[in-house]
Structure formats: C-alpha cells, structure tokens
Amino acid sequence: MKSLLDLNCLIALFDEPHGSHLIVKDWFLRAESNGWLTCPITENGCIRILSSQGYARPKPAISVIHALREAFKHPNHYFIADDFSLTESGWLEPSLLTSSQVTDVYLLKLAIKNNARLVTLDQRIKYSAVEGAKPDDLLVLTDPTSGDRVRRADLLAAQGKTVWKGNLENLRRSRDKKR
C-alpha cells in the first residue's frame, strides 16, 4: 500500500540527528517499494520547519528544497494535490476533530482518497474522525528501543490502530555503525 508521510515523518527522514530518524528510515527502507507520497502541506511544512531559525539544526531553505528535489527523483515517489476542503460535507466527523489535529485528519483523508495510508509518529490521531476510515488507513511508527513507546504501541494496537514497532536489530546495527 502506498504511504503518505506526515510532516513529522518527513522531517525525521531528512534530519539524520532527529530522535525518530532511525525508526522512520528503517520503516521507509522496507516500505519505499510500495510507493510514498508527499503533498503541498508536507513539502511546504518540511521546508518551513527545517529552515526555521527556531529548529535545532536549521538549514538554508534552498538546501532543504534541493534535498527534497533529489529525494523526489525516487521512482516510487508520487506527488498528490490537496484538492478538497475540510468544509466539504460527508467525510468528516466534526465531533471528533480537535484543533491540534486539523492537519492530521486532513492528511488522513487525503491519503485515503489516494488509495494510501497516512504514516505518522503521532499516537493521538483518531482515524474515526474521517468517516469510513479503517485502522489500516493509519500507520503509527513507534521506537522499539523505548519501553514507554512500546507500551503505548501495544495500547494503540489494542484500540484497533495499526502500529509498526520497527525492527530492533536493524536499529541497533544502524546505531552501532555510527559509533
């Protein structure tokens, strides 16, 4: 299944020292052949955040744009347009929408509309906020090296959410290579 990476995943993928880089990279290397998607929201957000002076490791915006351009040459990368509105009726369960999840819910619907799933690090997204969404439409990546995250991942799985805990051995090898 194709995957739309949310902003946090895209940033973690492009920022090697990011705390979630290894878990996102490990997942990406396993899933990239199925196709990965970006959209104006995720692309613009990645450029904005990675080039912000408030970011831990800011880069010039042009450097981020060049890095994205290179990544988008990947044969399984697809760009999808933001082509609907939150104000359209029939797809949103407004009672489940919180202000902090407006973009997340929009991206989930965009992924579903494009026969894909949303991949995120955010464990708070409610797939039920999008009418007709199923647990498999949302993939939550968690770090298997963090006991607390694993417990939360188990809880999410018990709630019917799709959770990918990563491959602990691959993460250890990647970390050992850097030492």
Count how many Cα atoms sit within 13 Å of the Cα of residue 128 in the half-sphere of its side chain: 6
Task: Indicate the number of domains in the chain.
Answer: 1
CB atoms within 10 A of CB 168: 13
Rg (CA), the chain: 16
pLDDT, one tens digit for every residue, the chain (179 residues): 999 999 999 999 999 999 899 999 999 998 999 999 999 999 999 999 999 999 999 999 999 999 999 999 999 999 999 988 878 877 777 777 777 788 999 999 999 999 999 999 988 888 888 888 898 999 998 866 554 444 444 445 545 555 555 544 444 455 455 54
Report pLDDT for 38.
97
Report pLDDT for 139.
92
Q: How far apart are CA 1 and CA 101, in angstroms?
A: 24
Place of tokens 């744009």: 65
Give the domain extent around 45.
Answer: 2-178
Q: Are 51 and 59 in contact (CB under 8 A)?
A: yes
Report pLDDT for 162.
52
Report pLDDT for 146.
56
Report pLDDT for 172.
45
Residues composing the chain = 179
Q: Tell if the pTM clears 0.85, that is, is over it.
A: no
Whichever domain contains 171, its CATH number is: 3.40.50.1010
Report pLDDT for 53.
96
Report pLDDT for 178.
52
Q: Which of 111, 138, 102 is nearest to 36 (CA)?
A: 111
